[in-house]
Chains A and B, each alone.
Chain A
Amino acid sequence: MTKVIVSNQKHPLDTYLRTDRLPHIWCPGCGIGAVLHAFLRALLDSGVDLKKVALVSGIGCTGRVAGYVRLDSFHTTHGRALPFATGLKIANPELKLVVFSGDGDLIAIGGNHFIHAARRNIDMTVICVNNFNYGMTGGQLGPTTPLTGRTTTTMRGNIEEPFNIPYLAAAAGAVYIARWTTAHIHSLEHSIGEALAKKGFSLVEAISPCPTYYGRMNKQPTGLDQIRYFRYNSIVRHGIDPRLVGIEANGQIVVGKFVDIERPYIPGATGSGNGRTT
Chain B
Amino acid sequence: MSQPRHLAGEFFLSGDEACAEGAINAGCRFFAGYPITPATEIAERMSERLPEVGGTYIQMEDELASMAAVLGASWGGVKAMTATSGPGFSLMMENIGLGAMTETPCVVVDIQRAGPSTGLPTLTGQGDMLQARWGSHGCYSIIALSPDSPQELYDLTIKAFNLSEQFRVPVLIMSEAATGHMYERVVIKSVEELELLPRRKPNVPPEEYLPYQPDDDLVPAMASAGEGYGFHTTGLTHDERGYPAMSVEAQDRLIRRLVDKIEKNKDAIIELEEDGTENAEVIVCSYGISARISQMAVQMARDEGMKVGILRLITVWPFPDERIRGLAQTARAFVVPEINYGQIVREVERCAGGKRTVLVPHMGGTVHNPHTIFEAIRQAVK
Contacts and interface: CB of A to CB of B under 8 A. Distances in A.
A273 B229 contact: no
B225 interface: yes
B230 A84 contact: no
Interface stretch (A69-77, A132-140, A177-185): A69-77
B232 A278 contact: no
B51 A278 contact: yes
A276 interface: yes
A265 to B, nearest CB: 14
B75 interface: yes
Contact of B226 (A21, A54, A67, A75): A54
A67 B232 contact: yes
A72 B66 CA distance: 22
A92 B51 contact: no
A228 interface: no
Given A272-B56, A274-B56, A67 B69 contact: no
Contact of B234 (A67, A80, A84): A67
Interface stretch (B57-65, B108-116, B117-125, B339-347): B57-65
A228 to B, nearest CB: 34
A91 B52 contact: no
Interface residues on A, range: 35 or more
A56 interface: yes
B230 to A, nearest CB: 6
Given A83-B60, A112-B62, A74 B94 contact: no
B374 interface: no
Contact of A51 (B65, B71, B226): B226
B232 A85 contact: no
Given A88-B72, A90-B73, A74 B233 contact: yes
Interface string A119-163: 000000000000000000000000000000000000000000000
A87 B233 contact: no
A73 B232 contact: yes
Given A77-B98, A87-B76, A92 B225 contact: yes
Contacts of A277: 1, 51, 54-56
A147 B64 CA distance: 30
Contacts of A86: 32, 58, 60, 65, 68-69, 72
A42 interface: no
Given A86-B58, A90-B30, A90-B56, A75 B72 contact: no
B78 interface: yes
A87 B226 contact: no
A51 B230 contact: yes
Contacts of A71: 230
A87 B333 CA distance: 48
A75 B76 CA distance: 15
A20 B243 CA distance: 10
B139 interface: no
B224 interface: yes
A243 to B, nearest CB: 24
A160 B227 CA distance: 46
A113 interface: yes
Contacts of B71: 76, 84, 87
A116 B60 contact: yes
> Is the contact region of chain A dominated by helix, strand, or loop, or is it mixed?
mixed
A120 to B, nearest CB: 8
B225 A72 contact: yes
B225 to A, nearest CB: 4
A72 B230 contact: yes
> Is the contact region of chain B dominated by helix, strand, or loop, or is it mixed?
mixed
Contact of A83 (B52, B69, B233, B235): B69
Contacts of A18: 232, 243
Nearest to A115: B61
B228 interface: yes
B2 interface: yes
Interface in A52-71: 52, 54, 56, 66-67, 70-71
Nearest to A54: B225
Nearest to A64: B244
Interface string A85-105: 111111110110000000000
Given A67-B244, A276-B57, A84 B72 contact: yes
Interface string B212-253: 000000000000111111111111100000011000000000
Interface in B17-63: 29-30, 32, 47, 51-52, 54-58, 60-62
B233 A273 contact: no
Given A21-B243, A273-B58, A75 B236 contact: yes
B282 interface: no
B72 A278 contact: no
B54 A51 contact: no
B234 A272 contact: no
B94 A77 contact: yes
Interface in B143-164: none
B77 interface: yes
Contact of B76 (A51, A83, A92, A276): A92
B285 interface: no
Interface string B88-116: 00000011011000000000000000000
Contacts of A95: 76, 225-226
16 contacts: A66-B234, A74-B75, A75-B234, A83-B60, A86-B69, A87-B58, A87-B80, A88-B73, A88-B225, A89-B76, A91-B73, A113-B68, A273-B58, A274-B57, A276-B51, A278-B52
The 6 A-B residue pairs with the shortest CB-CB distance, nearest first, are A91-B76, A87-B72, A273-B56, A87-B69, A83-B65, A88-B72
Given A76-B235, A90-B76, 15 more contacts: A66-B232, A66-B234, A71-B230, A74-B72, A77-B98, A80-B65, A80-B94, A80-B95, A87-B72, A88-B72, A88-B225, A91-B80, A112-B61, A277-B54, A277-B56
Interface of B: 1-2, 29-30, 32, 47, 51-52, 54-58, 60-62, 64-66, 68-78, 80, 94-95, 97-98, 224-236, 243-244
